[in-house]
Amino acid sequence: MNETMNGAVLTRYNNIEWQQVPVPEIKDTEVLIRVGFAGICGSDQHIFSGEFHPRTTTPMIPGHEFAGTIVETGKNVRNYKTGDRVAVDPIIPCGKCAACEIKHYPACTSLKLLGVDMDGGFAEYVAADESMLYKLGPEISDRHGALVEVLSIGFHAVNRAGLKKDDTVAIYGSGRIGHCIAQAARTKTDNTIYMVDILPNRLDIAQKAYDNIVTINSRDIDPVAFIHEQTGGRGVDVAFEAVGHAHPVENRIHPVRGCVQSIRGAGLVCTLGLSDEPAPLNMKEFIWKEARIVSSRVSHGEFAETIHHMSLGHLKPDTLVTGEFFAGKAQEAFEILDKDPQNNLKILLKLT
Ligand SMILES: [Zn+2]
Ligand SMILES: [Zn+2]
């Protein structure tokens, strides 16, 4: 094994450089992975700009969405061997907090992520514990394997929501997470999915990619009124909020409240958008429906379910990808994502 490798190193915030760095040393329960592809996540954009400071410091190698081939195994690794192709669940729960005690790992109070709290997959090689690995069959490319993590967030959300066959769905936000929810939801219900956003290009991507989807540009149309009109006044069974940092839209209510207003009596809202701003809720609207709100943060073992559906061709991973760059050009990729959210969902970095 070479002692050095190339990696996209965030040398200081807003500056990522292709540099020679040491190959990570593996512990006895870890494997060394030759990364094929890695995806740039919204959190990577926050890390890039320094918004995660002091949780992140520089220099660091980001990247928590990736897939590749095992090239070395630690001496206590049992279930994987050199040559196995894997996707890596980046979540590292503390194992000790109250949430971990009941094995509810996404809610771990000191949850760490490979590629956020330690060096990750925007490099030729990365080390990962055996417990974080999921095997990829030959029918799943590294390119698609790098999208398992983000798609598993969609599966976790629909599982948190208990989405059932024939449920109608509203998804506020047609960014990466909104698309992943739509793809996961499509494996559970054939009924109508309403997707709401203000960026027409993102809605177009959804309109073309998914069956039985109705896209709503909330700049032009009031989504709540439209959904009620379309459902005969009933509302949808489940609404997902995946907007996050909501830009106020004139004459429209906040998306979380929009979700509550969009569901039927006794319906459910699942929120994913991470916003620092409080979301205004009208408790009367909420309580009169005896509605439930659940939240969904990361994934919880949904890698297996995602890989299963990906192998069977039930997902549309390519729909998420709007760009592909050699990892040496990571700086350019980050700048494009920042400047042009309208025309970009996921950008993949190629490491081999
Ligand atoms: Zn991510
Ligand atoms: Zn914990």
Distance of CA 167 to the CA centre of its chain: 23
Neighbours of 182 (CB within 10 A): 24
Task: Give the SS3 label for residue 241.
Answer: strand
Mark 257-276 as b/e (b = at least 16 C-beta within 10 Å): bbbbbbbbeebbbbbbbeee
Q: Ligand 2 center to residue 330 CA distance, Å?
A: 32
pTM of the model: 0.96
Q: pLDDT grade, residue 114 (50/70/90)?
A: very high
For residue 25, the CA-to-ligand 2 centroid distance in Å is 26
CA of 121 to the centre of ligand 1 (A): 12
Given a cut of 80, whether residue 2 has pLDDT beyond it is: no
Mean pLDDT to the nearest integer, 313-331 = 97
Strand partners, 72: 32
Q: How far is the CA of 65 from the centre of ligand 1 (A)?
A: 6
- The Cα-based distances of 200 to 140, 203, 295 in angstroms read 31, 5, 27
What's the CA-to-centroid distance between 43 and ligand 1, angstroms? 6
* pLDDT one-digit tens code per residue, 305-314: 999 999 999 9
144 CA distance to ligand 1 middle (Å): 15
Q: How many angstroms does the Cα of residue 117 sit away from the middle of ligand 2? A: 15
The pLDDT of residue 1 = 59
Q: How confident is the model at residue 196 (pLDDT cuts 50, 70, 90)?
A: very high
The dihedral region occupied by 235, where left means phi > 0, alpha psi between -120 and 50, and beta the remainder, is: left
**Helices in 27-92 by DSSP H: which ranges?**
42-49
pLDDT band for position 323 (50/70/90)? very high
Looking at all shown ligands, the one closest to residue 151's CA atom is 1
134-154 residues labelled b (16+ CB within 10 A) or e (exposed): bebeeebebbbbbbbbbbbbb
Of the chain, the end-to-end C-alpha distance in Å amounts to 16
pLDDT, position 276: 84
CA separation for the pair 109, 261 (Å, rounded):
31
3-state DSSP call for residue 128? Answer: strand
111 CA to centre of ligand 1 in angstroms = 14
In this predicted structure, the answer to whether residue 12 has a pLDDT above a threshold of 90 is yes
From ligand 2's centre to the CA of 108, what distance in Å?
Answer: 4
Distance 268 CA to ligand 1 centre (A): 25
What residues have their beta carbon closer than 5 A to ion ligand 2?
Answer: 93-94, 97, 100, 108
125-152 pLDDT per residue, tens: 999 999 999 999 999 999 999 999 999 9
- Crossing angle between the packed helical segments 176-186 and 200-209, to the nearest 10 degrees: 20
